[in-house]
Amino acid sequence: MNTPLYPFKFKPILKSRIWGGKRLKELGKSISDGERVGESWELSGIVGDESIVANGFLAGNSLSEIIEVYMDEVTGKKIFDQFGTQFPLLIKFIDANDDLSIQVHPDDALAEERHHSFGKTEMWYVLDGESGAELISGFIENVDEYLYLKHLQDGTLDAIMQHFPVEKGDVFYIPAGRVHAIGKGCLIAEIQQTSDVTYRLFDYNRTDDKGNPRELHTDLALGAIHFQHVTDAKQHPVALPGVPCELASCQYFTTNLVTLSSSLSRDYYLLDSFVIYLCTQGSFEIEYSGGRTLVTKGETVLLPALLFEVTLHPVTQAELLEIYVK
């Protein structure tokens, strides 16, 4: 049937964090004085933290409500058949004004068994890294459970992790099971499965706002960790103007980097998936069958699967992440 669907914008969900700061203002987020905001959830189907449409005649409706009404016209048939009204991805901006905990996420099987949740495979795209900023991804060599627990007990887990200096454009793919951490001074975009299950391994002996040590999940994490060393934790693909450049692709999502200096037509007819645009620089317009939608730096837009032919017009030279499910 014919529907008046259009590119959806959503109200950001800002998350105060002990390690958060103010830099999400650079992405257009409203942060009050004295507030430490670590995350902006741009597109979320997490129960209790569901995104609300901010534009057009469906403004005020939740993400699951529009999927319930328009079904596969929003998500694509294969995705709707698998997930129903549950949106499969969670999109965030993260501002690390201090080091985040060293942590790991369970895979689908373990998350379902323990939490009745999806697992959490994710990726990071670095928007900026201050001088000395680092990300942690994986172990410096193969370790076993005994060695890992010894370093954990001694408070030296950090010493056996791979530390990577970061700069804008770096890409980190983090499959479930890989131990990782975001370091102080990193501003990143995160694409992940719809899950909020995190096992915290080490948190630098910090306390919460009541002075209590932050909870660790040592026993739960043991069944989730992949102890093998990996050699390809960091990538730095370079996109040619107008040519989508693949940053990461797995069963859960594909993310491309697109730089726009002139108009670019995109045909998603064979994709059978929604498409997400995350504007990281500049601004552009989405031309679709019903009109045009302006997207500026820091905004995230959900393109319904029904709108499979669009043209992207740069207003200023723009950079965006293009995200979908194959």
Sort 163 into a burial class: Cβ within 10 Å, 0-12 / 13-18 / 19+.
Answer: middle
- 76-132 tens-digit pLDDT: 999 999 999 999 999 999 999 999 999 999 999 999 999 999 999 999 999 999 999
How many CB atoms neighbour CB 142 within 10 A?
Answer: 10
pLDDT tens, 159-177?
Answer: 999 999 999 999 999 999 9
Please state, in angstroms and rounded to a whole number, the distance separating the CA atoms of residues 24 and 37.
8
> Domains of the chain (ranges plus CATH)?
8-235 (2.60.120.10), 245-324 (2.60.120.10)
Q: Is the pLDDT of residue 2 over 60?
A: no
pLDDT on residue 213: 85
Mean pLDDT of 12-19: 96
Model pLDDT for residues 195-253, shown as the tens digit of each residue: 999 999 999 888 877 888 889 999 999 999 999 999 999 999 999 999 999 999 999 99
Q: What's at 125, amino acid-wise?
A: Y
Cα distance between residue 278 and residue 92, in whole Å = 10
Residue 292: active-site member: no
Q: What pTM did the predictor assign?
A: 0.96
Question: Does residue 185 carry a pLDDT above 70?
Answer: yes
pLDDT for 1: 43
Per-residue pLDDT at 214: 85
* Residue-wise pLDDT tens digits, 261-289: 999 999 999 999 999 999 999 999 999 99
d(CA 16, CA 21): 9
Give bridge partners of residue 191 from the DSSP assignment: 91, 123
The catalytic position among 17, 23, 114, 200 is 200
Considering only CA atoms, which of 112, 113, 130, 278 is closest in space to residue 191?
Answer: 278
